[in-house]
């Protein structure tokens, strides 16, 4: 019962909305409605402007044609209007035609003036007649110097008759509407040759120009001003031009005065326009109120009706697939439009005025379409309530069917197929729209075209959504790849809104991310265990090793004289000391590789530190007959680094050169500034062949001396590299045959420029 009541109320509000629309649409000023309604008075409206412009044109037509058609103030049908000449044989004959003759000739051909003084022709069977072309010698209403085209000098008798009747209609329209009967619009047009010789055209001979200018609305133009004096806001802009064009004298001694009595005491076009304007405002107020009330009521009752339909049981129509019911409704709309145009509208034409036929045809079609759409909306709401709107759709089932063909295809093939289908649908619909609008001649064809445009809009929006969603998916995948490449292995893609191939790709990336995260965790765990093992083992070795070193030292203090035992003690001392150094290197290498090193960064003179290091290793290099060749810049190169760690880097590199350089060769040390970096280079010729990759030399426990005939742990370069990287430097090794070259670079700290205040103080001091 509630559903039925809501439906009845909805139909009632539909009727109210249609009534409001009709009140606005059926007004003869439809199209200007809101604009016209916004004006406060009739005299500022477009309706008034249209009537005033028409009457001003009439006034100047009257000025131009009064002397043409009148004699002593009366219409004279015997006045000669045109003179023509024609050739008969070898002689040229001339003839003149009076106003009466031309009018009677036009009437004989079926031409006459209607109630609006416009020339029309009756629907009579034309009598064949021979029309001769005349040479028009003169026209009383058009001097020969006013001809605009060469053809104006030639005409037929029918053409001359039409010209005269048209101009006579303009003259009579002004005379009968503004002069012969009282009018709210008064005018005076006066052209003066001299003070005693003037031509006056007026419908108010007893009024003065000042009296006209005192009326409610007025306009005054004279030959001495460039613009009109007026209080009319919608005055035509060409009034000054028309006044000058109608001036028969070569002077500026003329004026035009036009006034309107805004109390509208007489019944004429202005009083009728004023009444129409007021009625129109009332109609618009009522129409707007009805539309607002109807639309609001329609929305409320439609909501109640749809809420009731949501819980209603399904019927036989609802058993159809969702797309089938929509297409069936669209077909019903087309059929309803056809029947309303062919049947219902014809019946309404029997009782509706012909001026309203177009509106009633449109209204009947719209009402039929609305009720069909209301029926379909109720069906869709019932499906939604029963949760069959999606499950019973062709699209859902079709996706399962198409997945059989596209699930194993490449993405490019699928995208290309969808694009060509989309392009074909657009071309087909556009062709239908073109045919409907270009070849259509009725409301049905236009409605079909509009429906096709709506379908094309929906199709294009779906295509845009598909491409946008696909691009969004690719952006998310690209973002995931960027994060993975940057080392963010914990990044995961939310695949809830993904579909198709993109979802598979996103899932695979998530799996890769999971795998990389697990591997990274295992690697971190392994490195931590290695570091812990090295630290623990080193600690366990260090304690007994310290005891051994101490006891060796105690035994040496006993001054044992046996040379054999002394040699044993020397070997024991050397090996224990080497084992101690190895243990310390292990601990430092572990800390450096794990980053567990506390740095004390400060400004260091790299040049000075290299000089000190060279001095420290001078004796070691001399013991192996190595010649140290150092090239340093004249000035100092300041870098930001930890002094103790930087010394360890240089110490390891110098030790490496001392151990592995060919005895008796040169070791080259170089420091230079390059691209804002302080680049330290040390190079030497290796004593043993370097059959190893340069990158492997910085690994732990890797030595260039494969035979391990020299002392060394294989940790020096690894420690140097890790300490360099911890201090934001770069460490590179280059091997070219037996040539070993190590490069260490740190950013150069530029000296700070003095501030403006410091510069001023310096200048003052100087």
Condensed to tens digits (0 to 9), the pLDDT of residues 43-94 reads 887 788 888 999 999 899 888 888 888 888 888 999 898 888 877 666 778 8
Looking at the fold, whether 35 and 133 belong to one and the same domain comes out as: yes
Residue 362 has pLDDT above 90, yes or no: no
| Residues 148, 678: Cα–Cα separation, whole Å | 91
What pTM value is reported for the model? 0.45
Please indicate whether residue 286 or residue 701 has the higher confidence score (pLDDT): 286
Looking at the fold, whether 107 and 233 belong to one and the same domain comes out as: no
Looking at the fold, whether 619 and 698 belong to one and the same domain comes out as: yes
Q: Is residue 613 part of a domain?
A: yes
Lowest mean pLDDT across 51-65, 506-520, 609-623, 726-740: 506-520
Provide the 8-state DSSP code for 153: G
Last residue of a domain, one of 281, 305, 329: 305
pLDDT of amino acid 669: 94
Looking at the fold, whether 167 and 233 belong to one and the same domain comes out as: no
pLDDT of amino acid 684: 92
Range 212-218 average pLDDT: 92
Q: Give the range with max mean pLDDT: 225-229, 480-484, 680-684.
A: 680-684
Residue 719 has pLDDT above 50, yes or no: yes
Looking at the fold, whether 224 and 284 belong to one and the same domain comes out as: no
Q: Is residue 725 part of a domain?
A: yes
Which letter, b or e, does each residue of 37-68 get, where b requires 16 or more Cβ atoms within 10 Å of its Cβ?
bebeebbbbebbbebbbebbbbbbbbbbbbeb
Q: Give the range with max mean pLDDT: 212-226, 383-397, 410-424, 584-598.
A: 212-226
Q: Give the range with max mean pLDDT: 357-366, 400-409, 419-428, 749-758.
A: 357-366
What CATH number is given to the structural domain containing 665? 3.30.565.10
Looking at the fold, whether 274 and 256 belong to one and the same domain comes out as: no
Please indicate whether residue 459 or residue 275 has the higher confidence score (pLDDT): 275
Please indicate whether residue 389 or residue 96 has the higher confidence score (pLDDT): 96
pLDDT of amino acid 408: 53
pLDDT of amino acid 73: 83
Provide the 8-state DSSP code for 145: G
C-alpha distances out from residue 154 to 56, 278, 396, Å: 31, 51, 77
Looking at the fold, whether 299 and 442 belong to one and the same domain comes out as: no
The answer to whether the beta carbons of residues 319 and 38 sit under 8 Å apart is no
Range 678-688 average pLDDT: 91
Residue 213 has pLDDT above 80, yes or no: yes
C-alpha distances out from residue 418 to 201, 421, 473, 564, 754, Å: 77, 5, 17, 94, 67
Q: Is residue 48 part of a domain?
A: yes
Looking at the fold, whether 39 and 99 belong to one and the same domain comes out as: yes
| Residues 445, 456: Cα–Cα separation, whole Å | 16
Looking at the fold, whether 165 and 211 belong to one and the same domain comes out as: no
Q: How many CB atoms are located within 10 Å of the residue 263 CB?
A: 10
Looking at the fold, whether 287 and 163 belong to one and the same domain comes out as: yes
Q: Is residue 580 part of a domain?
A: no
| Residues 700, 38: Cα–Cα separation, whole Å | 90
Which helix (DSSP H) or strand (DSSP E) does residue 660 occupy?
Answer: helix 643-660
Residues in the chain: 766
Looking at the fold, whether 234 and 133 belong to one and the same domain comes out as: no
Q: Is residue 127 part of a domain?
A: yes
Lowest mean pLDDT across 26-30, 197-201, 218-222, 424-428: 26-30
Last residue of a domain, one of 428, 449, 481: 481
As for how many domains the chain has, the answer is 4
Q: What is the pLDDT of residues 174-208, one digit of tens each?
A: 888 888 889 999 999 999 988 778 889 999 999 99
Residue 612 has pLDDT above 70, yes or no: yes
| Residues 319, 313: Cα–Cα separation, whole Å | 11
Mean pLDDT, all residues of the chain: 80
Show the domain range for 706. Answer: 599-747
pLDDT of amino acid 762: 54
Please indicate whether residue 713 or residue 236 has the higher confidence score (pLDDT): 236
| Residues 565, 392: Cα–Cα separation, whole Å | 101
Lowest mean pLDDT across 148-157, 181-190, 330-339: 148-157
Q: Is residue 4 part of a domain?
A: yes
pLDDT of amino acid 226: 79
Q: Is residue 165 part of a domain?
A: yes
Q: Is residue 682 part of a domain?
A: yes
pLDDT band at 709 (very low <50, low <70, confident <90, very high): very low
The tokens 């070193």 sit on which residue? 549
pLDDT of amino acid 48: 86
pLDDT band at 706 (very low <50, low <70, confident <90, very high): very low
| Residues 369, 405: Cα–Cα separation, whole Å | 39
Residue 221 has pLDDT above 80, yes or no: yes
Of 467, 468, 490, 493, which is closest to residue 478 (Cα–Cα)? Answer: 493
pLDDT of amino acid 682: 94
Looking at the fold, whether 19 and 92 belong to one and the same domain comes out as: yes
Residue 256 has pLDDT above 80, yes or no: yes
pLDDT of amino acid 605: 92
Last residue of a domain, one of 278, 305, 332: 305
pLDDT of amino acid 708: 42
Range 23-36 average pLDDT: 58
The percentage of the chain sitting over the pLDDT mark of 90, rounded to a whole number, equals 14
């Amino acid at each position: 019962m509630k559903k039925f009541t809501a439906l009845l109320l909805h139909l009632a509000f539909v009727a109210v909305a249609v009534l409001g629309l009709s009140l606005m649409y059926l007004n003869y000023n439809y199209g200007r409605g809101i604009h016209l309604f916004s004006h406060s008075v009739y005299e500022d409206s477009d309706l008034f402007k249209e009537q005033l412009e028409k009457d001003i044109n009439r006034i100047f037509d009257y000025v131009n044609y009064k002397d043409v058609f009148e004699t002593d103030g009366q219409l004279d049908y015997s006045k000669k209007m045109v003179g023509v000449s024609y050739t008969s044989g070898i002689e040229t004959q001339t003839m003149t035609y009076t106003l009466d003759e031309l009018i009677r000739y036009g009437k004989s051909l079926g031409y006459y003036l209607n109630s609006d003084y416009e020339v029309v022709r009756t629907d009579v069977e034309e009598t064949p007649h021979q029309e001769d072309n005349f040479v028009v010698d003169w026209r009383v209403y058009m001097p020969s110097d006013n001809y605009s085209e060469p053809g104006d000098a030639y005409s037929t008798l029918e053409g001359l008759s039409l010209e005269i009747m048209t101009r006579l209609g303009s003259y009579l329209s002004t005379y009968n509407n503004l002069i012969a009967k009282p009018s709210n619009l008064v005018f005076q047009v006066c052209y003066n040759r001299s003070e005693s010789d003037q031509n006056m055209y007026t419908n108010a001979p007893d009024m003065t120009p000042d009296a006209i200018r005192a009326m409610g609305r007025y306009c005054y133009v004279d030959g001495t001003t460039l613009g009109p004096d007026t209080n009319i806001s919608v005055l035509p802009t060409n009034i000054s031009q028309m006044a000058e064009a109608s001036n028969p004298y070569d002077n500026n001694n003329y004026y035009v005065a036009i006034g309107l009595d805004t109390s509208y005491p007489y019944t004429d076009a202005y009083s009728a326009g004023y009444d129409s304007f007021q009625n129109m405002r009332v109609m618009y107020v009522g129409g707007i109120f009805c539309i607002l009330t109807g639309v609001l009521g329609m929305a409320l009752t439609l909501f109640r009706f749809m809420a009731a339909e949501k819980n209603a049981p399904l019927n036989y129509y609802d058993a159809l697939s969702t797309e089938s019911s929509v297409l069936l409704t669209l077909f019903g709309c087309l059929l309803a439009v056809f029947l309303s145009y062919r049947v219902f509208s014809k019946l309404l034409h029997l009782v509706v005025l012909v001026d309203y036929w177009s509106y009633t045809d449109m209204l009947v079609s719209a009402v039929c379409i609305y009720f069909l759409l209301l029926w379909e909306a109720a069906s869709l709401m019932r499906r939604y309530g029963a949760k069959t709107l999606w499950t019973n759709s062709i699209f859902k089932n079709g996706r399962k069917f198409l997945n059989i063909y596209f699930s194993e295809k490449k993405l490019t093939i699928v995208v290309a197929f969808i694009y060509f289908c989309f392009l074909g649908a657009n071309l087909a619909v556009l062709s239908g729209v073109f045919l409907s609008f270009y070849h259509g001649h009725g409301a049905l064809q236009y409605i079909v075209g509009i429906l096709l445009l709506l379908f094309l809009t929906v199709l294009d929006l779906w295509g845009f959504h598909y491409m946008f969603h696909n691009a969004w998916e690719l952006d998310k995948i690209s973002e995931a790849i960027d994060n993975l490449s940057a080392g963010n292995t914990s990044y995961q893609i939310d695949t809830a809104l993904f579909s198709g191939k993109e979802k598979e790709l996103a899932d695979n990336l998530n799996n890769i991310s999971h795998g990389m995260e697990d591997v990274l965790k295992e690697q971190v765990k392994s490195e931590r265990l290695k570091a812990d093992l090295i630290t623990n083992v080193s600690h366990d070795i260090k304690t007994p090793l310290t005891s051994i070193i101490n006891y060796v030292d105690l035994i040496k203090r006993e001054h044992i004289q046996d040379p054999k035992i002394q040699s044993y003690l020397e070997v024991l001392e050397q090996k224990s000391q080497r084992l101690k150094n190895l243990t310390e290197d292990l601990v430092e290498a572990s800390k450096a590789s794990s980053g567990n090193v506390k740095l004390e960064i400060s400004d260091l003179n790299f040049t000075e530190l290299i000089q000190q290091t060279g001095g420290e290793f001078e004796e070691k290099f001399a013991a192996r007959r190595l010649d140290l060749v150092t090239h340093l810049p004249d000035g100092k190169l300041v870098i930001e680094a930890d002094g103790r760690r930087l010394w360890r880097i240089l110490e390891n590199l110098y030790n490496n050169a001392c151990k592995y350089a060919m005895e008796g060769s040169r070791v080259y040390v170089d420091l230079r500034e390059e691209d804002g970096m302080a680049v330290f280079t040390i190079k030497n010729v290796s004593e043993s062949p370097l059959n190893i990759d340069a990158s492997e030399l910085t690994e732990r426990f890797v030595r260039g001396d494969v035979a391990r005939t020299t002392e060394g742990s294989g940790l020096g370069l690894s420690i140097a590299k890790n300490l360099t990287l911890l201090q934001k430097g770069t460490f590179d090794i280059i091997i070219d045959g037996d040539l070993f070259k190590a490069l260490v670079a740190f950013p150069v700290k530029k000296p700070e420029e003095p501030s403006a205040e410091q510069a001023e103080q310096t200048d003052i001091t100087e």
